[in-house]
A and B are shown apart, each in its own frame.
Chain A
Amino acid sequence: MSTFVTGTELPSKSFFINRAALVAYANASGDQNPIHQNEEFAKAVGLENVIAHGMYTMGLVSQYVAEIASGSEKVQEFAARFTKPVVVPAGVDVELIVSAVVGEVTENTAKLEITATCNEVKVLGMTKAVILL
């Protein structure tokens, strides 16, 4: 994609989050907090069930952004607020739907205003990226 126009809605993409993916992310990132893997533990600390690492969800969104930007190296700025946990029951592929609208465009950058939802609930807030054109 070569031109970005403010206000353009970019096509959405779905990612599927399951328990095995959370274990893989825990191993790759070093974040072994049991609330992301162990249902008994998660429930014991008052959570509905195992929840995804916020950074895992943000990482999936980064792949969406990198695809739009034509490469991770083009992502200059990336931010998100972890507003709602992504609950991941055993044996379920939880769908994360990511979409974006083009915000401010300069000569060499474009801002993306991103939405990420699971079960029609926004799981990230204030999610923005600046990509290099």
Chain B
Amino acid sequence: MLNPDLVGRTFAGTNSTTITQESIEAFALALGETKSDVAPPTFAITISLEQSQSVLVDSGLDWSRVVHGDQRFLVNKPLQAGDVITCNSTIESARVVAGNEIITVRSDLIESDQVAVSSWSTLVFRA
């Protein structure tokens, strides 16, 4: 069970990720897209979910019981090759429904001191 004190807390990402053209192309191609001047809208998940996972696992949650409930992206600036991204994650809400723990994490992908993409993942930890 997540400590309720963690709701509202932001965990600053300590590592930065440099987005490569190869990673964008591979992701786009896996979705059947051959244009890859910018990353597909859902590419942010490859950065945000890893960060959310590490925050929630460090907070005591069992990642093997997780199911993705819903997902939202807000794009201020599309991600592209050469972007150096740091990712800050905020636990926005946590509630328990029928024994399942439902947690929403917002991840802000920051490039040159600006939020390029915000990603909200609602994750369901099954009882």
Cβ of A56: which chain B residues have Cβ within 8 Å of it? 30-31
Cβ-neighbour of A30 out of B50, B72, B78 (below 8 A) = B50
CB contacts under 8 Å to A, within B34-78, are 35, 37-42, 45-46, 49-50, 67-75, 78
Residues of B bordering A, CB below 8 Å? 23, 26-27, 29-33, 35, 37-42, 45-46, 49-50, 67-75, 78
22 contacts between A and B (CB under 8 A): A15-B32, A24-B29, A25-B31, A27-B26, A28-B23, A29-B27, A31-B49, A56-B31, A60-B31, A72-B33, A72-B78, A73-B37, A77-B72, A77-B73, A77-B75, A78-B41, A78-B42, A80-B70, A82-B68, A82-B69, A82-B70, A82-B71
Instruction: Output the nearest chain A residue to B67 by Cβ-Cβ distance.
Output: A82
Cβ of A79: which chain B residues have Cβ within 8 Å of it? 70-73
Known: A66-B41, A77-B75, A81-B69. Contact between A30 and B30, CB under 8 A?
no
Cβ-neighbour of B70 out of A65, A75, A126 (below 8 A) = A126
CB contacts under 8 Å to B, within A61-114, are 62-63, 65-66, 71-73, 75-82
Shortest CB-to-CB span from A116 to chain B, Å, is: 13
Contact A55 B45 (CB under 8 A): yes
Cα distance, A25 to B43, chains bound together (Å)? 11
Cβ of B30: which chain A residues have Cβ within 8 Å of it? 21, 24-25, 27-29, 56, 59
Cβ of B40: which chain A residues have Cβ within 8 Å of it? 59, 62-63, 66, 72
* A58 in contact (CB, < 8 A): yes
Cα distance, A84 to B39, chains bound together (Å)? 27
Cβ-neighbour of B71 out of A27, A55, A71, A75 (below 8 A) = A55
Shortest CB-to-CB span from B111 to chain A, Å, is: 14
Contact B32 A60 (CB under 8 A): yes
Contact B41 A30 (CB under 8 A): no
Shortest CB-to-CB span from A51 to chain B, Å, is: 10
Instruction: Mark interface residues in A1-38 (1 if CB within 8 Å of B CB, else 0).
Output: 00000000000000100000100110111110000000
Further pairs besides A27-B26, A59-B31, A79-B71: 7, Cβ < 8 Å: A25-B30, A25-B31, A54-B68, A63-B40, A72-B35, A72-B41, A76-B74
